[in-house]
A and B are shown apart, each in its own frame.
Chain A
Amino acid sequence: MKKSIFYTVLLAIILVAPFAFPDFRTQLATLWLMIVVAMTWDMTGGQMGYNSLGNIFFYGTGMYVAALISIGMVHDVGSYNNAARSELMTFTDAQYFTGAIIGIIGAGLFCALTAVVIGYLTFGLRGPYFAIGTLGVAIAAGELVANWDWVGGGQGIALPVYPGNLDVGKLFFYFLFAGTGVALFVFLKWLYTTRFGAAINAIRDDEEKAEAMGIHTLRYKLTTWAMAAFFVGIVGGISAFQLIHFEPLETAYQTINLGIFMVVCVLLGGKGTLWGPIIGAILFHVIKEVTWNYLLGWQWVALGALIVVTVVYFQDGVMGWLMHKKPEWFGIRVEQKEAR
């Protein structure tokens, strides 16, 4: 009962926020993006114990796939992305929306598929090797795309602007991001209570033991990463249309920005918990925006300091700290050691 009130209030806030703070619509949309990438990162990093530094690959790939699908449905992709193009290539309203929806869903599906392929090649790596291996995939993908003229090369892709009122456009993107975030939350809340959730926790806690007990570890790892990649691909696709123009290295495959931010969000909020990534994403986003506004010029220093402090002193995050201080809130009970 208490819980249903809590969730109703939360949902109301999500629905009302962009109307109550119309100036912050894009900020709030970006916050949802952070929440989604943090929660998906936690699926493998927190719940399954595989710290990927390459999840940004799915963000960038999602952007490109969504853009290419929506362009390809109307125009010839090669000539649309030709830097020397002089002819005007336009989209009707209907073409824009069908292209966006099909492109975004296609981005999610494509990313899920690539996660299976890349996972098959990289899940043999453990610990830091997996992190570096996946980071390599993301960096390599960015460089490859930057040299591929058919998709616009280094200058990226320019998509059409949202047709109609731009304020409505901001609402449109806010609700796309928020809808994805809510769907992801509901999905994970369910997934973590199933045997599937227990199996990936077992892989995190002791993969050798899980293997020795006959759990199909590779199958679980691939499925988890594919599910995470699906949602990252979706928000990548939404970002492509929201940003209008994106280029490969700084926007799409931005390994040093969003690629790291998602990890810091999860560490800040608490790995391996349902709420940790959300709390972490909100905290991180607020801190980031505040430093951008009030410490301009020093914002990267402040952000770097935050990352260092989090990684060195506060690895368990807010939720981990709470679990340690108040284990009974989480139903954790330990054996009482008798005094000798």
Chain B
Amino acid sequence: MSSIIDIQSVSKSFGGVLANTDVSMKVEKGGITGLIGPNGSGKTTLFNSIVGYHPIDSGSIRFEGKEISKLQVQNIARLGLLRTFQQTRIYGAMNGVENMLISLPHRKMRFFDSFGRNTKEDYERADMLLDFVGLYEKRYLQSGSLSFGQQKLLEFAMALMNEPSVLLLDEPTAGINPTLINGLIDRLKKANTEFGITLFIIEHNMRVIMNMADTIYCLAHGKLLAQGTPEEIQGDQRVVDAYLGAH
């Protein structure tokens, strides 16, 4: 397997706070890569750096071999590198289907296509993906009135609608009813295997991430602490210490 995202010694500071220091990691094409670490260890900062929310201080980020650390958010999104938000972001005033249709991949549209209406295929795909995340029954409800967990599922479906090649998920299971988490793991895995989407996931729920990821990176205090397979990470004393606050 080749790496689709290649992060080389990225550093990012906010004033005096070193959010990321010399972080390097690779996301394998077609795989599921996990990113863990205690609160405030710089995981979301790294995600934001990758998708272009803020410029990085030094280092390089490559997507499919192309340097993207200088690009803007929309340009990176249009390459097919998409993220979901920790605090879910959906268009609350619209219903589920409308949310889905807005998420059609604009990178595949020419300007004048936007003056067309959505096709039957678009609607079918929206329905199919809403069914996939289990929101089919609620698809005509105003999405702002859905529960947090359902909004999260909707955001996931919207991301799939966009047909990304890589999806960065910021805590996909946070706020989701524990009984639904197994279902979500299955769906994430299916998105990976059936839709062929490479996943890069920040996750606090160890059971979830150990279950899914091929490779896991652990950050602590903005630095890369450990990397390896789930088994290696679980057995790594430094990771355990970081979570228990020994650092």
Listed in ascending order, the chain A residues whose CB lies under 8 Å from chain B are: 191, 193-196, 198-199, 201-202, 205-206, 208-217, 219-220, 331-335
Contact = CB atoms under 8 A, between A and B. Distances in A.
Interface of B: 51, 73-74, 77-78, 82-83, 85, 89-95, 98, 101-107, 109, 111, 113-118, 138, 140-142, 145-147, 158, 162
Contacts, number: 93
Contacts of A199: 102, 106, 114
B209 to A, nearest CB: 23
Given A195-B113, A199-B114, A333-B95, A214 B82 contact: yes
B68 to A, nearest CB: 13
Given A195-B113, A214-B107, A216-B111, 19 more contacts: A194-B114, A195-B109, A195-B114, A205-B91, A206-B91, A209-B85, A211-B77, A212-B73, A212-B85, A215-B102, A215-B106, A217-B74, A332-B142, A333-B140, A333-B142, A334-B141, A334-B142, A335-B142, A335-B146
A196 B93 CA distance: 17
Given A213-B77, A214-B107, A215-B74, A198 B93 contact: no
A253 to B, nearest CB: 32
Nearest to B105: A214
Contact of B117 (A193, A209, A212, A216): A193
Contacts of B77: 211-214
B105 to A, nearest CB: 7
Contacts of B90: 206, 209
Nearest to A214: B77
A239 B107 CA distance: 42
Contacts of B101: 195, 198
* Majority secondary structure, A binding face: helix
Contact of A212 (B83, B91, B107, B115): B83
B139 to A, nearest CB: 10
B145 A335 contact: yes
25 contacts: A194-B114, A194-B115, A195-B109, A195-B118, A198-B98, A198-B101, A202-B102, A206-B89, A206-B90, A206-B91, A208-B89, A209-B85, A212-B51, A212-B77, A212-B83, A213-B82, A215-B102, A216-B106, A332-B142, A333-B141, A333-B142, A334-B142, A335-B138, A335-B145, A335-B146
B98 to A, nearest CB: 7
A335 B151 CA distance: 12
B142 A195 contact: no
By CB atoms of chain A within 10 A, which of B106, B107, B113 has the most?
B106
A211 B53 CA distance: 10
Contacts of B83: 212
Contacts of A210: 102
A79 B145 CA distance: 65
A213 B138 CA distance: 23
Closest 6 CB pairs of A and B: A214-B77, A334-B145, A335-B145, A205-B91, A209-B89, A214-B78
By CB atoms of chain B within 10 A, which of A213, A217, A335 has the most?
A213
A198 B142 CA distance: 15
A208 B72 CA distance: 12
A195 B117 contact: yes
Given A196-B114, A198-B102, A212-B77, A205 B92 contact: yes
A205 B103 CA distance: 13
Given A205-B91, A206-B89, A206-B91, A213 B116 contact: no
Nearest to B92: A205
A202 B91 contact: yes
A215 B113 CA distance: 13
A211 to B, nearest CB: 5
Contacts of A220: 114
A216 B93 CA distance: 21
Contacts of A195: 101, 104, 109, 113-118
A196 B109 CA distance: 11
Contact of B93 (A193, A205, A211, A331): A205
Contacts of A335: 138, 141-142, 145-147
A331 B158 CA distance: 22
Contact of A213 (B93, B114, B141, B158): B158
B2 to A, nearest CB: 24
A215 B72 CA distance: 12
A196 to B, nearest CB: 5
Contact of A201 (B102, B107, B147, B158): B102
Contact of B162 (A191, A214, A216): A214
A199 B98 CA distance: 10
A201 B74 contact: no
A201 B98 CA distance: 10
Nearest to A219: B111
